[in-house]
Chain A
């Protein structure tokens, strides 16, 4: 939430409720489905939307972290899960764990769960970089919530704090403080003056901020709320793809399409499942398609 940057992309210009609805739908469906094909379809759609929102670089840093996590899941799953009929590798006998036995089914299960994790993290990435925190707080905080103000202030001040930290560290280095020592304790001790300066400067800033808040009348009366967000055709269009998408997903889940049998042997994938998953993916790829059309054709830009 601290990294949002305004961009001239369709997803950034959506009403906050619409963007949140899209993101929430993806998270809900990723939790509802364990079928890898449907999860893969959601993942592919989400990737397209992330690319179209111009946050691919940010997503890459998420991906690095996610892949590490998926590797750990796969490792633990392979070591501890004994189920699965197709043995790929049989290792030595280890105390407590027993004989190492890596099966195709356990690897596929890890991959399926990994894709689910990627969808959830991707949705959070989209939320972090493409949805304005101010607008989210307005929706969550309602009228004049002090929590909303505290959150909004944190969002604004955190980057300042990061800048302060960098500047104070530079000032310390210019006074001969070296942070290059290998001894962790010594290094920690050298950071204490920085934290001290940071704290003192933050306290002074918070005092000035409190004074400014008082002079602008915060807390003197019941607050009203200013929201200047218009409904545009693009919001309606994205909703018109998201709502049927979630409806289709729920319907599929209710009819038993969401699950998938990994053990003892992998459930065969049918053509209808492939078709339905592609169909579901299409609903959720729609914002990306709309964005590209919006960027490419002036006519569409004018109309939506």
Chain B
């Protein structure tokens, strides 16, 4: 029996003529794991909000059609019953937590339902054990990491014991390790408890293989609904839909008969080939992969940099780093490795405790941050921190005005370069996450910096937006601007950054080309390099993987012909 059924559902937000949901027909069975994928503005979030009644109760607007929970119209059910049946976890844990203490937060939803203290106590015990939150029960929420906060949100929803769990990009604000943990919990809840899960997620390489059913959305419609993952990938490949995991996309693009969903499956397929390791797959393609020859000119020189915050803990230890014009570096490493602190030191927002940073042979200590804005641009994790002007164009003009840059034609150039011309007169806060990111970047690029520092720029972006950002950064690099990106996103670093720096415990562990750094590694490698690990360790990017796979398929065909 369908636990959730949507029939001819059409919905428009207030003051919007175009429907956000257009003729949705969907029936979800008990215990299903449904993955909803699609680009920004495709209607994913609106769809799940309609399933919980938030649309139209909270958002208003015009709605037609019906939403049924266990064959009962959602509109006819009492709110308490809806909430007990459907629980929802949103993107940002900071915007969901209410109380200051973990235990009280877990009780909050149950208190709203008027449950007895005894029952609440039991459920808190259950969810905190299941999600390993017991040691944190009496902790302040503010002392928890982002991953733990999202776990608390999830636990507080589970304590209300819903039949259906809806998650709207629950890992988008988390680092990969924390995100992985949340997805593992969700999988366990579905497999071991039979909980119906409806998940919107961008990290498809982590969850695509878990889904029983995949819904592809575009412009408010479900354009494809599949219970067969292979079929779903093939459909996406044919329709140029980017919302499939890299490994699956790689095999689908080369027309492989069998499409793996995970690295494990992919490697199994490759190992069955007669290809020997010595033959190599992409000898010809991996040559010339090294980063471009360094220019002799030094843009930024970091010498024996040490940094401690007021508490005295050493966050950066003996950092030596040279940046040339047109360098494109990705800094990677575990949480609290000192990556963001290093960026802030390079920007001048923090000053070294010991050591020197020289900008074009001049000690940076002699310049305040404001004076460096024209040379070094810094884009922090949250693009919203940069957006306050009434229009996109005004954001760019604001920076130029501060720095006394008069040439107005550069504003139009910048809008065009960042594909923002059509949004020039739009309020930046009305734009999507990816577009906001581009506006914030434009506000930094408006200063015409020689060095651009970006801190986790792919957080919350989908595959399409990441590709857009990556290509833009490559274009800037070609124009001679040096770029340093701090990221946890292996795929992004592998695809776009020619050089990688690995940091750990405040130190630079190593620096080298991406083929050197991201291959032959168990954890710090892209899905593609994991796929070809010990087969051809020089393969790192998607393009290299594609060529290698094509060669592999040619080899197989030749083998088959030879046998005949």
Contact = CB atoms under 8 A, between A and B. Distances in A.
Nearest to A190: B402
Contact of A221 (B80, B117, B399): B80
B450 to A, nearest CB: 14
Contacts of A212: 90, 95-96, 98
B157 interface: yes
Contacts of A219: 112
A178 B368 contact: yes
A171 interface: yes
A133 to B, nearest CB: 6
Given A201-B384, A226-B107, A221 B95 contact: no
A208 B92 contact: yes
A153 B382 contact: no
Given A215-B88, A221-B114, A224-B120, A197 B385 contact: yes
A155 interface: yes
Interface string A116-136: 000000000000000011100
A230 to B, nearest CB: 11
A226 B117 contact: yes
A147 interface: no
A273 interface: no
B484 to A, nearest CB: 14
Residue among B54, B156, B160, B384 with max Cβ neighbours from chain A (10 Å): B384
Interface in B99-125: 99-101, 103-104, 107-117, 120-121, 124
A167 B344 CA distance: 11
B104 A167 contact: no
B49 to A, nearest CB: 8
A68 interface: no
Contact of B399 (A134, A153, A175, A197): A175
Contacts of A6: 138-140, 143
A244 interface: no
A220 B373 CA distance: 51
A152 B429 contact: no
A270 interface: no
A144 B96 CA distance: 18
Contacts of B138: 6
B259 interface: no
A200 B429 contact: yes
A225 interface: yes
B350 to A, nearest CB: 10
Given A149-B98, A175-B402, A216-B109, A204 B83 contact: no
A215 B99 contact: no
B155 to A, nearest CB: 12
A266 B124 CA distance: 61
A171 B444 CA distance: 9
Contacts of A183: none
B111 A156 contact: no
A213 B101 CA distance: 17
B402 A176 contact: yes
Contacts of B265: none
Interface string B375-415: 00110101011111000000000110011000000000000
A173 interface: yes
A193 B382 CA distance: 16
Interface string B418-453: 000000000001000000000000011011000000
Given A175-B402, A216-B108, A221-B114, A167 B373 contact: no
Given A167-B385, A216-B108, A224-B114, A176 B373 contact: yes
A176 B448 CA distance: 12
B12 interface: no
B399 A176 contact: yes
B370 interface: yes
A176 B388 contact: no
B86 to A, nearest CB: 8
Contacts of A170: 344, 349, 369, 378, 380, 385
A200 B111 contact: no
Given A209-B96, A216-B109, A224-B117, A197 B370 contact: no
B90 A175 contact: no
A133 B447 CA distance: 45
Nearest to A223: B111
B237 interface: no
B559 interface: no
A132 B121 contact: no
A208 B83 CA distance: 17
B523 interface: no
A214 B92 CA distance: 16
A167 B429 CA distance: 18
Interface in A225-282: 225-228
Contacts of B99: 134, 152, 156
Contacts of A155: 100
Contacts of B90: 208, 211-212, 215
A28 B100 CA distance: 29
Interface in B324-350: 344, 347, 349
Nearest to B116: A224
A61 interface: no
B430 to A, nearest CB: 11
Contacts of B387: 197, 200
B95 A217 contact: no
A1 to B, nearest CB: 10
Contacts of A218: 108, 112
Nearest to B141: A156
A155 B142 CA distance: 10
- In the complex, the 8 A-B pairs of residues with the closest C-beta atoms, listed nearest first: A176-B402, A226-B107, A208-B95, A217-B112, A176-B373, A197-B388, A178-B370, A212-B96
23 contacts: A134-B101, A134-B104, A156-B98, A167-B382, A167-B385, A170-B349, A173-B373, A197-B387, A200-B387, A200-B388, A205-B95, A208-B96, A211-B90, A215-B52, A216-B109, A216-B112, A217-B83, A220-B80, A221-B112, A222-B114, A226-B111, A226-B120, A228-B121
